[in-house]
Amino acid sequence: KQEVTQIPAALSVPEGENLVLNCSFTDSAIYNLQWFRQDPGKGLTSLLLIQSSQREQTSGRLNASLDKSSGRSTLYIAASQPGDSATYLCAVITGSARQLTFGSGTQLTVLP
């Protein structure tokens, strides 16, 4: 059974810092990997989707990498801002339904 782990569970940083969130998965037979953001009381917002054949994706201040063979992904956030405060979820796409298997998330707080 695919398991996704995210480290750390919580992170607090001062505004302006660069930071890295880690994600690992146990089964490398994935279609894609996706990073989401979740704000309290709201649904999930897709940040980046990395195809299994890709190594990284970039969007603005966000950069996500994927090492499928070792079962790892990282989300790099540059020049963090208080508005980046949220829970970040990593998910792999697997299965006949191409459903998402999520980690438990990293709760990020960026202090002004």
Partner 1 sequence: GAGVSQSPRYKVAKRGQDVALRCDPISGHVSLFWYQQALGQGPEFLTYFQNEAQLDKSGLPSDRFFAERPEGSVSTLKIQRTQQEDSAVYLCASRRLAGTDTQYFGPGTRLTVL
* Residues in touch with partner 1 (CB under 8 A): 4, 31-32, 34, 36, 41-46, 49, 51, 89, 91, 93, 95-105
Of 80 and 87, CB closest to partner 1: 87
Give me the least distance between CB of 93 and partner 1, in Å please. 5
Cα separation of 91 and 81, whole Å?
24
Which residues have C-beta within 8 Å of that of residue 13, sequence separation ≥ 6? 19, 80, 108, 109, 110, 111
Residue 88, beta-bridge partner list: 37, 106
Output 76 or 102, the one with its CB closest to partner 1: 102
Q: How far is the CB of 15 from partner 1 (least distance, A)?
A: 26
From 19, 26, 57, 34, select the one nearest 8 (Cα to Cα): 19
Kindly state the smallest distance separating residue 83's Cβ from partner 1, in Å. Answer: 19
